[in-house]
Chains A and B, each alone.
Chain A
Amino acid sequence: DAMVIQNPRYQVTQFGKPVTLSCSQTLNHNVMYWYQQKSSQAPKLLFHYYDKDFNNEADTPDNFQSRRPNTSFCFLDIRSPGLGDAAMYLCATSRDSTEVDEQYFGPGTRLTVT
């Protein structure tokens, strides 16, 4: 049974054309994370939500935004994708973040920018 679902699995967008990636979870976890992972690199945290509280990483470009309308769903918006934004985008959840708990990762969305 899928616990963290990401749609779509593959996304192709044009340079500069806004794109939204989605993530949903059936675990009822408080925390949701978005990571960017480029080939042969570690996942890089972009931001995370603790419940409704948004926590941005200092080096996350303004081009990346996120929305969490409810506990189950979280969206990653890329306002003006550049060629350098092509990557795998991973969504993860954890029960609590006061001390980082096990993170459950979704299968990822692979973004191609043409």
Chain B
Amino acid sequence: GQQVMQIPQYQHVQEGEDFTTYCNSSTTLSNIQWYKQRPGGHPVFLIQLVKSGEVKKQKRLTFQFGEAKKNSSLHITATQTTDVGTYFCAGDTNAGKSTFGDGTTLTVKP
């Protein structure tokens, strides 16, 4: 079956440092979504990427979708303590459902 792998599993950074999480699929994706889950909370949608090579930005967050549509990344510039949480990618290959990566848990030291 489809596998979506995410690395790293954990990332500890000093406030102000950058952070990147990577998502890789074993199969070509029709789209990929990114979610953020705060400790004790539920996943909250951040963005969806659909086009090959697509890059989207949300303030300090930059999302990329690979040319082959099998990988994606989320980069946060100059992390803040409010960025803490687990970031999940979710890739869609089969119509009607998406497969979540295992998530990257970010902690930010003030």
Contacts and interface: CB of A to CB of B under 8 A. Distances in A.
Q: Do A and B bind each other?
A: yes
A113 to B, nearest CB: 20
- Bin chain A's interface residue count: 20 to 34
A40 B88 CA distance: 12
B97 A48 contact: yes
Contacts, number: 65
Contact of A45 (B31, B97, B103): B97
Nearest to A106: B42
B33 A103 contact: yes
Contacts of A92: 43
B101 interface: yes
Interface residues of B, number: 23
Main SS class of interface, A: loop
A48 B44 CA distance: 19
A106 B31 CA distance: 22
Interface in A92-114: 92, 97-108
Interface string A73-105: 000000000000000001010000111111111
A41 interface: yes
A60 interface: no
B43 A105 contact: yes
A33 B45 CA distance: 15
Contact of A42 (B30, B44, B96, B103): B103
Contacts of B101: 42
A45 B43 CA distance: 13
A103 B45 contact: yes
A45 B90 CA distance: 11
B97 A97 contact: yes
B90 to A, nearest CB: 8
Minimum-distance CB pairs A-B, first 4: A97-B96, A100-B92, A42-B100, A105-B42
Interface of A: 31, 33, 40-45, 48, 50, 55, 57, 90, 92, 97-108
